Amino acid sequence: MLVLSILVIAVLIILTSLWSRSATPLSYTDFLAKVDGDQVVSVTIDDRGSVFGTFRDKSTFTSQIPTALNNAGLESRLAAKNVRITAEKSSTDWGGALLVFLPVLLLIGFFLWSGRQAQRSLGGGVLGFGRSKTKIIEEQRPTTRFADVAGYEGVKQEVSEIVDFLRDPAKYAAAGAKGPRGVIMVGPPGTGKTLLGRAVAGEASVPFLSVTGSTFVEMFVGVGASRVRDLFNQARQRAPAIIFIDEIDAVGSRRGMSGVGGHEEREQTLNQLLAEMDGFDQSSGVVVLAATNRPETLDPALLRPGRFDRQVTVPLPNQSERAAILAVHAVGKHLGADVNLERIARATPGFSGADLANLLNEAAIFAIRAHRTVITPCDLGAARDRVLLGRRETSNALLPEERHAVAVHESGHALLAALCDHADPVEKVTILPAGVALGATEQLPEAERHLYSESYLTDQLTVRLGGRAAELIVFGEGSTGAANDLVSATQLATKMVSEFGLSPVLGPVGYQPAQSPFLPGAISQIPQGPYSEQTQRQIDQEVARLLGEAEDRAVAVLKRHRAALDRLASVLMDQETVDGSAVLNSLRDEQPPPDTDRGGDLMPVVSLTRGEQ
């Protein structure tokens, strides 16, 4: 629109300038001189004194007769030279007027067009400005069923009552019971909260109105509240129906956290949502489902009974659930006969459903790179390393002394994991760089644990400091390769002291962590319990004590098994990647005294040797 306006104005200016150049302007004195010189053939004069004439050479001119002069003799002078005279009534100069007003009109039109486009993007014009941006799945209702959602039997049982209520609300009314008004699902990203919402709608065979929390809030005051009202009106018209609000924390965060008063747009939207959930009739058969991975940020008024009656946690899948999820995502892929999904599930603790889908996709890509259509266990192992560690850096060649240092470092991790009674078995040790890691020691749990003892945690500290201990024994000094180990060990020791109450100095105290329970690294908005600087000093001292004792123990154990350390490092230098049996073989010829100070592992770990970044 703007480009078209500029082009029209340019064309008008060019045409006007061409017209003005074709008629030569003359002063009144020059005009009389041309007449007296017998150079004028004809003239046209209007009632305003404007003159348009033609010379004998066919060129044209313009002039203006001064109104203050007595021009009675002009007609006789023109007649004496045989100049043809034409008189006409003056008319409006529409070309000039158009040239003046057209830019203004085009500018006004441009702003009207821009405003209409903005309104259309915000809700379909002026009449639809406050309409909710809801994706309504009604004609083709969701075909997803609970059988299509692998695992999560406990979660399915929780939400199955919603299905029963929507199918037969009269049964609840006859017994004097009320069906759930709202259910909020919380859990880490990628665990399938949206998929479960669609499964509920599919099982109940009712309309499913899906919307995200961010679509309610706009820069215009009142739009969010209007869209909330429109959303619930649409649900009532289609009742029984399900309203699914994804990422509800975008609109349901605690009021007053932004420091702005009650007129702030997001808070007004939340107030309208609270009123709608409190105000609609339960017998209408409208149920609100919501999903978030930040429940700690939600307003308490939103979570009270009568609005969201239930809070269902959708955790990361356990080992059996991971196997079921892998089986679902393996449909359509050609797996080798030797692929064991149960073993893959055991090797992927902490993986969400989305992570498992990505794992199988990466394995298929590795198979394609090898010009195969069948996925092998090697492809799955490489895909797991790709997800955990990053892309294998084949161009990142290490110097011979660096390869030796990485081999010694990883040998220290692996030997301590094999020598500690509570540590998980070693699955693989490699000195091939991947991502930012120069090497890795992978441990797999024999069974999935949910409770960790103090000895288990202490043993985990020892294993994580095993690489640094091996470097101190062989080279007499540490290196930057233990940076990641030190960070993870310090974090674990800090939790043992400040959260788990495992410090004899601080005693049985625990302080609220500042991180979100489902988003690692995200700062929670729940106020953290304050403690004094003296307490912080004691926490620092206890963390340093735990780390120092773990390092001393690791050094002492590896010194007793120095021969096994050298043998395993030599094998790694030759083969670059070995499995857990190579670690046990390096210890087979030795009969060391038993280590009475045993510990364990908080979670199955991948110990990394990082290079200087």
Domain boundaries, the chain: 2-91, 135-313, 319-388, 400-523+530-610
Backbone angles phi, psi at 439, to 5 degrees: -170, 170
Helices and strands counted in the chain (H then E) = 22, 17
Tell me: cis bond preceding 240? Omega within 30 of 0 counts: yes
- 437 membership: H or E segment, kind and range: strand 437-443
Q: Which CATH superfamily is domain 135-313 in?
A: P-loop containing nucleotide triphosphate hydrolases (3.40.50.300)
Residue 537: strand, helix, or coil:
helix
Number of alpha carbons in the 13 Å side-chain half-sphere of residue 14: 6
Q: Is 20 exposed, middle or buried (0-12, 13-18, 19+ CB in 10 A)?
A: exposed
| CA distance from start to end of the chain | 52
- Active-site residue (options: 321, 410, 442, 471): 410
Catalytic site residue 410? yes
Cβ atoms of residues 83 and 43 within 8 Å? yes
Strands (E) located in 418-502: 426-430, 437-443
Per-residue b or e along 343-355, where b marks 16 or more CB atoms closer than 10 Å to that residue's CB: ebbbbbbebbbeb
The amino acid occupying position 431 is I
d(CA 396, CA 143): 49
Give CA angle at 592 (590, 593), nearest 5°: 160
d(CA 431, CA 410): 8
The amino acid occupying position 259 is G
Q: Under CATH, which architecture does the 319-388 domain have?
A: Orthogonal Bundle (1.10)
Backbone angles phi, psi at 422, to 5 degrees: -95, 0
- Secondary structure (H, E, C), 46-61: ECCCEEEEEECCCCEE
d(CA 397, CA 593): 39
The pLDDT score that the predictor gives to residue 96 is 56
d(CA 276, CA 211): 16
**Close Cβ partners of 515 (under 8 Å, ≥ 6 residues apart):** 521, 522, 523, 524
Alpha-carbon torsion angle 138, 140, 141, 142, nearest 10: -130
Q: How are beta strands 40-46 and 50-55 bridged, if at all?
A: antiparallel
Distances (CA, A) of 335 to 150, 320, 482: 19, 19, 38
d(CA 229, CA 220): 16
Per-residue b or e along 436-448, where b marks 16 or more CB atoms closer than 10 Å to that residue's CB: bbbbbbbbbbeee
The pLDDT score that the predictor gives to residue 595 is 46
Cβ atoms of residues 254 and 298 within 8 Å? yes
d(CA 332, CA 478): 49
The amino acid occupying position 550 is A
The pLDDT score that the predictor gives to residue 396 is 60
Q: How are beta strands 182-186 and 286-292 bridged, if at all?
A: parallel
Q: What is the pTM of this model?
A: 0.67
The pLDDT score that the predictor gives to residue 147 is 79
State the 10-residue block means of pLDDT for the chain, 613 residues long: 58 54 72 81 79 82 72 74 77 56 69 61 43 47 75 81 77 76 86 82 79 69 75 82 84 66 67 76 73 85 83 87 89 89 86 89 91 90 82 69 91 92 86 81 80 89 94 92 92 91 88 69 53 88 94 94 92 88 82 43 45 38
Write the DSSP string, 256-293. Answer: TTTS--TTSHHHHHHHHHHHHHHHS-GGG-EEEEEEES
CB atoms within 10 A of CB 585: 14
CATH entry, 400-523+530-610, from 1.10.460.10, 1.10.3720.10, 3.40.190.10, 1.20.58.760? 1.20.58.760
2-91 adopts what CATH topology? 3.30.720
Distances (CA, A) of 293 to 42, 80, 317, 599: 89, 101, 15, 33
Write down the residue that tokens 């390393």 correspond to.
385
